[in-house]
Amino acid sequence: MSGPERCPVTDWQTDFDHTAPEYAADAPAIWQELRETCPVAHSDRFGGTWLPTRHEDISAIAHDTEHFTSRGVIVSVLEPQVPAPVGYAPPISSDPPFHQIARGLLLPAFAPKAIRPLEAPTRAFCAQLIDQILLDLPASGVVDAAEQYAQHIPVRVIAHMLGVPAEDGDRFRGFIHRILEMAGQNEEPVSAEDTMVHYIFTQIEKRRDEPSDDLIGFLLQAEIDGVPLSDDHVGGTIALILLAGIDTTWSAIGASIWYLAQHPEECARLIAQPELMPFAVEEMLRAFAPVTMARKVSQDVELGGKQLHEGDWVLLPFPSANRDPEFFENPNEVILDREKNRHAAFGLGIHRCLGSNLARMELTVALEEWLARVPEFELADPEAVLWSTGQVRGPRKLPIRILEPGTSTTTTGAR
Amino acid sequence: MKISFNREACQGHNRCYLLAPELFDVDDEGYAVLLVTGDVPEQLHAKAQLAVDNCPEYAITLTEENPPA
């Protein structure tokens, strides 16, 4: 969790730390307080970082590629080394005009009609996971829905898309932990063979001799203006898909199950009215949006009365935008049939999450299959729920008790 | 009720396509394509409103032909 040198946060307005466990545990309350008292907060940590919390400001930054660059999207004491407009993991790290070219290559693979064929295998995999959980169910009925269910779903789907063995999933999770959850903090040194870069370049090498029809093979054959993509471009994009597609979706599935575990009446409603599911999924995405993006200031600019300087980091907490009362009615209430829901869970502007259709499908299928098999469940120990730190927020430990139908008791409400 | 769609503002969130497939399709890159020109059939007014109310980029607008006096 916290690095050895971390100083505790004394003031969220002037010294926030988005990698602190207390931020992870209570982020919605922190955003709310900042929105009311200091809507553009600052911290000297990570070389100088801003935290806007209002929808208006977050949207303005996401739409402004002139003053903000995507060269760095994970706030860290380390400076991003690959310059704009390409960046280290195109297209998420890219700026116009290159961004549109790199993104255009990938868009068809992630469009709704391309994602649809993945639904049936995802459904079968979710069903298989739950069947196994129920088969191995201890007498207590307690299982970890984050570790035993949610995390496996996107790992399997992404491995399938990339064309790598499903068993490599455990390694993916290790990479993600080091890169996203421990960004900029020194953990144990790792051997070169155990790095994501090494893993990806091994996969690329394999396909040099044997072309494949998976996403890695596709990128190796792709061209921009008749020129094949550089290995760094291909490797960076694969890294992006691996990092961005897994713990994000895992977080959304876990957070939704966390909410439903506290609201048996909502589970019953979703089971009785499956036509609500498309609205419920968007509402879960709004209320529990996992992803906070980041930018670097590329030209001095004013925001919410504060002067931002070139080189400063800016966090884009989309989940805070999603709870802004200026933008949403009753933002802290989860309203499963909310009809007006312009949520920003997948970002705003030109960097809209490339995998949004995939994530939406996975979340929908994961919840449908779960409720079909586990209609009644509750938090086994609310205090034991552990939220991830950093820019992707979701439950990493989520002990729930699976109940015999008809025995549930309503527990406390969610934040 | 008339519907219009701003392709420049669309970022491919696909909310309209999910909520109102009678009014919106998506192209190969996942950007919305408006299927009707001008008037929205009466029975699709509610779906048109949903598409508007869920577009994060405000790319869809509805206008009443004869606004009430």
Mapped onto helix, strand or coil, the DSSP state of residue B52 is helix
CB contact under 8 A, A112 and B30: yes
**pLDDT surpasses 80 at A183:** no
CATH of domain A12-402: 1.10.630.10
Q: Would you list the domain boundaries of chain A?
A: 12-402
How much is the ipTM here?
Answer: 0.95
Read off the pLDDT band of A412 (50, 70, 90): very low
| Contacting residues of B for A350, CB less than 8 Å apart | 11
- Across the interface, whether the CB atoms of B13 and A110 are under 8 A apart is answered no
Report the residue from B26, B53, B58 with minimal CB separation from A112. Answer: B26
B28, B53, B57 ranked by CB distance to A111: nearest: B28
Q: State pLDDT tens for residues A74-105.
A: 998 888 888 889 998 999 999 999 999 999 99
Which domains are delineated in chain B?
Answer: 2-63 (3.30.70.20)
Task: State residue A167's pLDDT score.
Answer: 87
Report yes or no: A398 and A145 within 8 Å, Cβ to Cβ.
Answer: yes
Write the pLDDT tens digit of every residue in A219-228: 999 999 999 9
pLDDT digits (tens, 9 = 90+) for A53-72: 999 999 999 999 999 999 99
Confidence of residue A415 (pLDDT cuts 50, 70, 90): very low
Walk across the sheet containing A399-402 and list its strands. Answer: A142-144, A399-402, A377-379
Lowest mean pLDDT among A201-210, A262-271, B41-50: A201-210
Which of A319, A266, A272 is CA-nearest to residue A293?
Answer: A319
Strand partners, B33: B25
CB contact under 8 A, A341 and B28: no
Sorting pLDDT into bands at 50, 70 and 90, what band is B67? low
Residues 6+ apart with CB under 8 A from B28: A107, A108, A111, A113
- Chain A residue numbers with beta carbons less than 8 Å from the beta carbon of B30 are 107-108, 110-112, 357
Say how many C-beta atoms besides its own lie within 10 A of residue A97's C-beta. Answer: 8
CB A278 within 8 A of CB B17: no
Average pLDDT, chain A: 92
Tens digit of each residue's pLDDT (9 = 90 or more) over A387-411: 999 999 999 999 999 998 766 554 4
